[in-house]
Structure 1
Amino acid sequence: MKKLQITQQMVREGVVAVLRGETPEEVVEMAKQSIAGGIKVIEVTMTVPFALRAIEQLAKEYSSSAPADSDKYAIIGVGTALDPETARAAILSGAEFVVGPSLNPATVTLCNRYRIPVLPGCMTIQEIQHALELGVDIVKLFPGNLFSPAMIKAVKGPLPQANIMPTGGVSLSNLGEWIKAGAVAVGIGSDLTSEAVKTGDYSLVAKKAAQYIEAYKAAKA
């Protein structure tokens, strides 16, 4: 049931913060600010040096089982998981979902074994169909900036059962278009954190996160 619950929570929240940084401490601060701003789904990418430290620290402080209105409520996951070894290490560190840049069948099998939601990156109908056959519940359309929201309608012609989350290139200006086109959620990357990194003021992450949540709610309404 936990896999189903996490998947439903991710869809309900609708916005995933995809966090990259130079240190685990920096990413933890980004995550805290994102959560404070209203983005409750946090993806710590494995490109972060010692990323598992950040996942472990965040998993100890936040929980998907906490009340949704609690300041301790968040869903912590791992991104850029290239293989099942990485996925398993992240799961043992507390990751509750796994995201990859591409479709790696062995990673999907590993996540299914431990009942962990897995969101592989796909670009083609063939890859999306393969992901569905492997038991994937949500497919990450990546890189999203290579497509327009019309891609979702095109995919859902032959594959209406596919749940799609675009990541890469999603911004405040086009988030609404993606949601209205049928995206079940969106992944937000550098646009969320770039200004904060440039200025050193990480409170800007919380402000940008709040803007994304506002845009998401407006699109859903």
Structure 2
Amino acid sequence: MKKEQVLSKMKKDCLVAVVRAKNLEQGEKVVDAIIAGGINFIEITMTMDEGNPIEFIAKMSEKYKSNEDVVIGAGTVLDPETARAAILAGANYVVSPGLNVDTIKLCNRYRVPMLPGVMTPTEAITALEAGCDIIKIFPGNIMGPSAISSFKGPLPQGDFMPSGGVDVDNVDKWIKAGAYAVGTGSSLTQGAKTGDFAAITAKAKEFVEAVAAARK
């Protein structure tokens, strides 16, 4: 999928599901449950208790390659080496908890959106200068929805996606604050801890409905 298509679809869908899988088997069930609930952007993190997350990305990319709605990405990417491996495995976008300019350059080389985590205007400016289209506000639960307007005051050209602490009860606040998209993880996937994947699907549907209501 071309970079422009990913960015446009992310803005339209507005929801990115962060999947921190215990292993490949559990991870696949989580991804399937999320997609069944209507969230199509799946961010597979590099933090897995067992198994290879790059292999997980490759497996999910292959499984959903015929579904044009589903967009698989890589999360918790800390360096350009990991970013390249994820991209070659099929990741259509790359997300990081921090800012690494070399990783941004690598993603630009492959024309893959890179969303670095920032907490300060200096980091946000560095990300923009390096060519990032969307900047991740992380951890969102520390900064709060007002962070978006604070960033957009001096940087109106910036687009921001919060991640960390985004749940059904506050996602509307982030949307109304001007978020390009939102990333959600533990509040969406907590059913996996007990094997209740139907609960994940139900929660995904709640998120989709909450975002739709907030955007009206």
Which residue, out of 198, 202, 214, partners 2:197? 202
Q: Matches of 1:162 and 1:62 in 2, distance apart?
A: 31
Kept in 1, the 8 Å contact 2:26–2:192? The answer is: no
Alpha-carbon offset, residue 22 of structure 1: 1.2
Which residue, out of 103, 106, 109, partners 1:110? 106
User: Please, which runs of 5 or more residues in structure 2 have no aligned partner?
Assistant: none
Partner of residue 34, structure 2: 34
The answer to whether structure 1 residue 187 and structure 2 residue 183 are counterparts is: yes
Secondary structure in structure 1 of the residue aligned to 2:136: strand
User: Please, which runs of 5 or more residues in structure 1 have no aligned partner?
Assistant: 68-72
Which residue, out of 61, 64, 87, partners 1:62? 64
Kept in 2, the 8 Å contact 1:25–1:54? The answer is: no
Partner of residue 70, structure 1: none
More off after superposition, 84-93 vs 46-55: 46-55
Q: Matches of 1:197 and 1:205 in 2, distance apart?
A: 7
Alpha-carbon offset, residue 66 of structure 1: 4.1
Q: Deviations over 1:119-164 (max 9, x none)?
A: 0100001000110000000000000010121111111110001100
Q: Matches of 1:23 and 1:170 in 2, distance apart?
A: 24
Kept in 2, the 8 Å contact 1:15–1:39? The answer is: yes
Instruction: Give runs of aligned pairs for residues 120-159 of structure 1, distance below 5 A.
Output: 120-159=116-155
Tell me the amino acid that sits aligned with residue 203 of structure 1: A
Which residue, out of 206, 211, 214, partners 2:206? 211
More off after superposition, 118-127 vs 24-33: 24-33
Kept in 2, the 8 Å contact 1:56–1:94? The answer is: yes
Q: Matches of 1:31 and 1:53 in 2, distance apart?
A: 14
Q: Matches of 1:25 and 1:104 in 2, distance apart?
A: 31
Alpha-carbon offset, residue 202 of structure 1: 1.0
Secondary structure in structure 2 of the residue aligned to 1:78: strand
Tell me the amino acid that sits aligned with residue 183 of structure 2: G
Q: Matches of 1:198 and 1:107 in 2, distance apart?
A: 32
Count residues in correspondence.
214
Tell me the amino acid that sits aligned with residue 85 of structure 2: A
Q: Matches of 1:198 and 1:121 in 2, distance apart?
A: 27
Compute the RMSD of aligned alpha carbons: 1.2
Q: Deviations over 1:16-70 (max 9, x none)?
A: 000012102211111111011000000000002311121111101213x745xxx
Q: Matches of 1:162 and 1:127 in 2, distance apart?
A: 12
